[in-house]
């Protein structure tokens, strides 16, 4: 908001300077025409050389009244020139100062991030992803090399870095060593593969979700260390097919996955060692009755996923519960899963 106000003020000041110069030129031209009886061209030329104080000879011999008028024009022109150069200098210094302060603020905010998401690529996919993360209140930063995107990222209040996401120095600045996940959403599969390998070499624990065009790219990205590969084209095709043959199912999933439509949502919650839920069956925990949520699936520590688990299914420490319910109820379940009082 302050940056926008400063830019608006600078534009207003420049408009006033240009307007004042035009009015002075007009007044000088009309004055010389009225006092000396010169033509418009001669009066305009005399006004310009008088305002600019270039020292050229007079167009015609002037009367004493004309010389007095020319003196006032000179004083006004010099005063305006001094004011203009002063303001221009202030604009330049103010712009540089705002840029320096902005970089320092961004660096400070980046250093505070921990357990965050790094969105690499602010394109057709990265844009809505970043918007969704902001809406959900998740900590994240955006990395993109396109300077033209800076204005939009700044206006949306994102923490961002302008640079090549495949560069180790840029990833360090984005806090890859502290990040929970990195989203490789660059347009090129080759760049996403290199980014994945670089991120994993810098932080083997960071979860990498990469964009891939097809199944071949998916295989390469997974071999390169990607934990999950998403193909926008394959997903779009599957969604179109589902919308055609199972429209009600698609509508339900949209309601569950888009928080702005309904408070109902899906969430994954990991059971810790300190949780009282560990070692007990679903029926014994009474999750459905206590928290008003439905456990859709349970993923154990080996990666095995059990959908629609039986009531006698035992919950072990380290299991991840895929639960569906309203946000406040899911928060209560999460507190129980981490053993919070």
**pTM as predicted:** 0.57
The token pair that represents 137 in the structure block: 């209140």
Q: Which of 173, 127, 175 is nearest to 149 (CA)?
A: 127
What is the mean predicted confidence (pLDDT) over 88-109? 65
Cα-to-chain-centroid distance, residue 252: 30
Report angle CA 238, 122, 182 to the nearest 5 degrees: 75
* Residue 240 vs residues 236, 237, 247, 285: alpha-carbon distances, Å: 6, 5, 10, 39
Residues 6+ apart with CB under 8 A from 32: 38, 42, 43, 46, 47, 66, 69, 70
Q: What is the pLDDT of residues 161-182, one digit of tens each?
A: 989 999 999 999 999 999 999 9
What is the mean predicted confidence (pLDDT) over 82-89? 73
Question: Which has the minimum average pLDDT: 51-65, 153-167, 195-209, 248-262?
Answer: 248-262
Q: What is the pLDDT of residues 21-71, one digit of tens each?
A: 888 889 889 988 998 888 889 888 888 887 776 666 677 778 888 888 888
Sign of CA dihedral 106, 107, 112, 117: positive
Sign of CA dihedral 321, 325, 327, 333: negative
Residues 6+ apart with CB under 8 A from 22: none
Q: Is 263 helix (H, G, I), strand (E, B) or coil?
A: coil
The C-alpha atoms of residue 333 and residue 225 are separated, in whole angstroms, by: 32
The C-alpha atoms of residue 243 and residue 254 are separated, in whole angstroms, by: 11
Q: Is 207 helix (H, G, I), strand (E, B) or coil?
A: strand
The token pair that represents 242 in the structure block: 């589902």
Confidence (pLDDT) at 263: 62
Confidence (pLDDT) at 1: 40
Burial class (CB in 10 A: 0-12, 13-18, 19+), 85: exposed
Q: Please identify which residue in the block is written with the tokens 């090399």.
A: 145
Burial class (CB in 10 A: 0-12, 13-18, 19+), 77: buried
Q: Which of 171, 162, 251 is nearest to 206 (CA)?
A: 171
Q: Is the pLDDT of residue 6 over 80?
A: no
Q: Please say whether the beta carbons of 179 and 117 come within 8 A.
A: yes
Confidence (pLDDT) at 328: 87
Q: What is the pLDDT of residues 280-305, one digit of tens each?
A: 999 999 998 899 898 999 998 888 88
The C-alpha atoms of residue 182 and residue 141 are separated, in whole angstroms, by: 10
Confidence (pLDDT) at 36: 87
Q: For strand 207-211 and strand 181-184, is the pairing parallel, antiparallel, or unpaired?
A: parallel
Q: Please identify which residue in the block is written with the tokens 């059990």.
A: 306
Question: Which has the minimum average pLDDT: 96-110, 120-134, 206-220?
Answer: 96-110
> Which residue would you say has higher pLDDT here, 182 or 268?
182
Q: Please say whether the beta carbons of 315 and 270 come within 8 A.
A: no
Q: Please identify which residue in the block is written with the tokens 């928080």.
A: 259
Q: Please identify which residue in the block is written with the tokens 């020319």.
A: 70
Residues 6+ apart with CB under 8 A from 277: 271, 285, 287, 315, 336, 337
Confidence (pLDDT) at 2: 45
pLDDT category at 4 given cuts 50, 70, 90 is: very low
Confidence (pLDDT) at 71: 84
> Which residue would you say has higher pLDDT here, 259 or 92?
92
Q: Is the pLDDT of residue 326 over 60?
A: yes
What is the mean predicted confidence (pLDDT) over 113-135? 92
The C-alpha atoms of residue 199 and residue 121 are separated, in whole angstroms, by: 14
Residues 6+ apart with CB under 8 A from 53: 74, 77, 78
Q: Give the chain's domains with CATH numbers.
A: 2-109 (1.10.287.70), 114-236 (3.40.50.720), 247-337 (3.30.70.1450)
């Amino acid at each position: 908001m302050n940056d926008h106000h400063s830019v608006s003020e600078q534009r207003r000041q420049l408009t006033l300077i240009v307007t004042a110069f035009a009015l002075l030129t007009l007044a000088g031209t009309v004055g010389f025409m009225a006092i000396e009886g010169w033509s418009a061209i001669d009066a305009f030329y005399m006004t310009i050389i008088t305002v600019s104080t270039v020292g050229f000879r007079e167009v015609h011999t002037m009367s004493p009244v004309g010389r007095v008028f020319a003196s006032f024009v000179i004083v006004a022109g010099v005063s305006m020139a001094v004011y203009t150069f002063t303001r221009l200098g202030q604009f330049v210094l103010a712009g540089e100062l705002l840029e320096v302060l902005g970089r320092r603020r961004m660096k400070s905010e980046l250093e505070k991030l921990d357990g965050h998401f790094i969105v690499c690529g602010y394109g057709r996919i990265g844009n809505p992803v970043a918007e969704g993360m902001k809406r959900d209140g998740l900590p994240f930063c955006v990395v993109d090399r396109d300077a033209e995107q800076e204005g939009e990222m700044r206006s949306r209040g994102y923490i961002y870095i302008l640079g090549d996401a495949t560069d180790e120095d840029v990833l360090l600045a984005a806090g890859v060593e502290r990040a929970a996940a990195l989203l490789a959403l660059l347009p090129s599969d080759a760049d996403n593969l290199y980014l994945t390998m670089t991120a994993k070499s810098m932080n083997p624990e960071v979860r990498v979700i990469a964009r891939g065009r097809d199944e071949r790219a998916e295989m390469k990205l997974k071999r390169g260390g990607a934990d999950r590969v998403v193909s926008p084209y394959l997903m779009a095709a599957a969604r179109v097919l589902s919308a055609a043959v199972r429209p009600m199912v698609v509508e339900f999933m949209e309601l569950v996955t888009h928080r702005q439509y309904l408070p109902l949502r899906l969430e994954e919650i990991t059971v810790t060692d300190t949780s009282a839920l560990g070692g007990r069956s679903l029926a014994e925990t009474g999750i459905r009755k206590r928290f008003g949520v439905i456990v859709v699936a349970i993923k154990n520590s080996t990666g095995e996923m059990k959908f629609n688990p039986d009531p006698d299914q035992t919950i072990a420490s380290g299991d991840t519960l895929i639960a569906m319910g309203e946000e406040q109820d899911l928060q209560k379940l999460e507190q129980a899963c981490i053993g919070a009082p």
